[in-house]
Every structure is written in C-alpha cells, then in structure tokens.
Amino acid sequence: MTAINYSKERYWDEVEIGDRLPSISLMLDATAMVLQVSGSQDWSLVHHDLEFANDSGIPNIFYNTGWTTALLGRLLTDWMGPSGWVQTMNFQMRGMNAHGTRCTAHGTVTGKRTESNHALVDVEIVLENDPGGVTTPGTATIRLPRK
C-alpha cells in the first residue's frame, strides 16, 4: 500500500485526465472483519457467522455497504488533499467482498471541468478482489482548489 502525504494539497490545475489515484489494497482477514462489524454495529449474522451465511445460501461472510462506502471514500479523500471535497460518489455493488480475499480500491481521472465557479474532477472508482475481479464499479466528482 502506498503511503499518503495527507498535508499535500492537490490542485485542479495539476490534475490530468488519465491520472491514476494511488490504490489501497487490504487483506480481508479476521481482524478486519471484527473491526468492520464492531465499528459499523451491523450485527447481521451474514457478516460474521460463517455457518449462518452458509445456511442462507451465501458461501462466505462478507463486508457490508458501509465498509464499501468507507473504503471508496478513503481512496478519494487520501488523493484529493485537505481542501478537496467529495461532491458526489455513486457505486454499484455487483459482487461480494468476502473474508479471506484481498481487496484493492483504485481510481482514474476521467474528466475535469469548471461549473458554477467550482473546479471539478470526475473519477472512475473500482473495488475489486483477487478471486472475483471487479465487485464494485462507480464514479465520483471531486471539487478541488485552483492555484
């Protein structure tokens, strides 16, 4: 995982279409699952009880929507710097991010524009895991300061 310099300001003027955001890669192990369930207080058994998940027809325990939102949000906020603003973020959960897999969040700048005196950057965001490929495609619009 790439270390992020949180004090670095990112300016709209320096961003180019095609720029890649530094990816975040996490192993979804037992510790990560305990933190996710206890932090979100989502006590649904499908998130932490393998036997219950299996009995429900689900092959593995999996991470919830809040975790997915947080990881994609972190991808954006780590990249945009302290004065950036996540204006919109949308994603579709098309697959599970399950216990025992490695997940990677990454993004690519797909556009930039000014609108209503705001300097905006459009980003394609993706969450994928090693056995399943892309589980969560999405988009975001980031407001950045100008020089």
The whole domain housing 52 covers: 16-144
d(C-alpha 61, C-alpha 52), whole Å? 9
At residue 113, does pLDDT exceed 90? Answer: yes
Residue 2, pLDDT score: 55
Residue 7, pLDDT score: 63
Please, which pLDDT band fits residue 5 given cuts at 50, 70 and 90? low
Nearest Cα to Cα of residue 122 among 131, 109, 132: 109
Question: Does the residue 6 lie in any domain?
Answer: no
Q: What's the number of domains the chain is made of?
A: 1
Question: Does the residue 96 lie in any domain?
Answer: yes
pTM of the complete model: 0.86
Predicted confidence (pLDDT) per residue in 27-50, tens digit: 888 777 777 777 777 677 776 777
At residue 98, does pLDDT exceed 90? Answer: no
